[in-house]
A and B are shown apart, each in its own frame.
Chain A
Amino acid sequence: MAHNRVVQWSTMSRIWWLYDAKYQCPFRSARIIAGYLQGQHKPIYHALSDVGDHVVVINSRHIAMREELWRTFTFSYHTGYAKGFSRTPAWRLHSMEPTMMIEKAVYSNMPGFLLRRKYMRRLHIYPDEEVPPEIIGNVCDQIQQIQKVPKRLDEYTAEEIQAFPKLFDWSEEYVIENISADKPKDTVKAAKK
């Protein structure tokens, strides 16, 4: 059997992946990114053989968290000395360093052995879409986002809003609460005058 029966040089090469973190949950996307850094998406994966890829994360400033997690989720740290404990809410950490949340989430999603630091060096996080050309030049594929990016109401054009199907018209007798709230005030004012 010839040894060159299956020649797959690109199997052992490191691929650069792009991940757009816009409106994505940092914790759930960190689990996926950690898998790519360790090479868990490859059939030749082994925990001790270093077959992981590079991941470039962009838009880390625009990550999204559900409910009130920006306020309630905290990162704690202890210096090791007395009174060395500190606790920072997520919004504060994110405003200070917009790449920190993703980095911490990915770091905690990987097994704690010596390869972890090596894997983390292959993670490149950028707060916006501006990436240096020597990094973005390597990127050859994209990781699928975990959730759909929602479209804001002001992003719709007037034509799209006009074209949206209207199932029925409100009857004239139907009172919409917010609109009716203004009217009595005027009438009261008018009555005073």
Chain B
Amino acid sequence: MVFLSRQVYGRLHRLRKMHEGITHPDRTNKKNFIFRMTWHFYGRRRNCYTIAIRAAQKMLQRASKNRHQKKINMKALWVQRITAALQEHQFEYTPFMSVLSEADVQLNRKVLHDICIYEPRTFQSLVEFAKQRYNEMGLYDAVAPVPPGIMTRSMFEKGEKIKAKREIKRQKLGQKILK
């Protein structure tokens, strides 16, 4: 009898053994199911079943966690790139997005990120629109810097608060040194 593969021979051997009285079934398929996932691992994590199954389970846990994490990472990258593109036009991310959503411009971060790389002129026109609309809405007045040469009571109060905080810090440091 000629066997073309070792596996087939092994299985038939197993069946013969079961005739002789071994009760538990063949686990080859179950093991192969795991080994098919661990073929690219390093060392004994790849070929020894008891170690490989633990590695495979951990791998699957990480895979399902990172399926969610990937979306978060991509979003962060898009935001960073859009911010960089806006920096060229002296504008910021938060007002830009708020104006676009207010004007019902239905472009998400992914599309805006593609536009800012591959179609800079389109992006520039979007920014110009956002800038103008932002001023029209009057949101800029709330955060605009105070013109030079003007002092208000609130500015003094703010400075006093910062000074008081520093003083408290300094005192704490001094007490630490004394101890």
Which residues of A approach B to under 8 Å, CB–CB? 6, 8, 40-46, 67
Further 10 A-B residue pairs, CB within 8 A, beyond A42-B84, A44-B81, A67-B166: A6-B119, A8-B120, A40-B84, A41-B88, A43-B82, A43-B84, A43-B85, A43-B113, A44-B117, A45-B80
Q: Are B119 and A43 in contact (CB under 8 A)?
A: no
Could you say which residues of chain B place their CB within 8 Å of the CB of A44? 81, 117
- Identify the interface centre among B84, B88, B118: most chain A CB within 10 Å of its CB: B84
Q: Are A6 and B118 in contact (CB under 8 A)?
A: yes
Query: In the complex, which residue of chain A has the Cβ closest to the Cβ of B121?
Result: A6
Q: Are B81 and A45 in contact (CB under 8 A)?
A: yes
Which residues of B approach A to under 8 Å, CB–CB? 77, 80-82, 84-85, 87-88, 113, 116-120, 166
Q: How far is B113's CA from A42's CA once the two chains are assembled, in angstroms?
A: 12
- Between A and B, 24 residue pairs with Cβ closer than 8 Å are A6-B118, A6-B119, A8-B120, A40-B80, A40-B84, A41-B84, A41-B87, A41-B88, A42-B84, A43-B81, A43-B82, A43-B84, A43-B85, A43-B113, A43-B116, A43-B117, A43-B120, A44-B81, A44-B117, A45-B80, A45-B81, A45-B84, A46-B77, A67-B166
- Give the dominant DSSP class at B's interface: helix
- Give the dominant DSSP class at A's interface: loop
Shortest CB distance B29–A (Å): 41
User: Which 10 A-B residue pairs are closest in the complex by CB-CB distance?
Assistant: A43-B85, A43-B116, A43-B81, A43-B117, A41-B84, A43-B84, A6-B118, A41-B87, A42-B84, A45-B84
Query: In the complex, which residue of chain B has the Cβ closest to the Cβ of A148?
Result: B148
Could you say which residues of chain B place their CB within 8 Å of the CB of A42? 84
Query: In the complex, which residue of chain B has the Cβ closest to the Cβ of A46?
Result: B77
Q: How far is B92's CA from A146's CA once the two chains are assembled, in angstroms?
A: 17
Query: In the complex, which residue of chain B has the Cβ closest to the Cβ of A144?
Result: B90
Q: How far is B25's CA from A126's CA once the two chains are assembled, in angstroms?
A: 77
Q: How far is B116's CA from A40's CA once the two chains are assembled, in angstroms?
A: 14
Could you say which residues of chain B place their CB within 8 Å of the CB of A46? 77
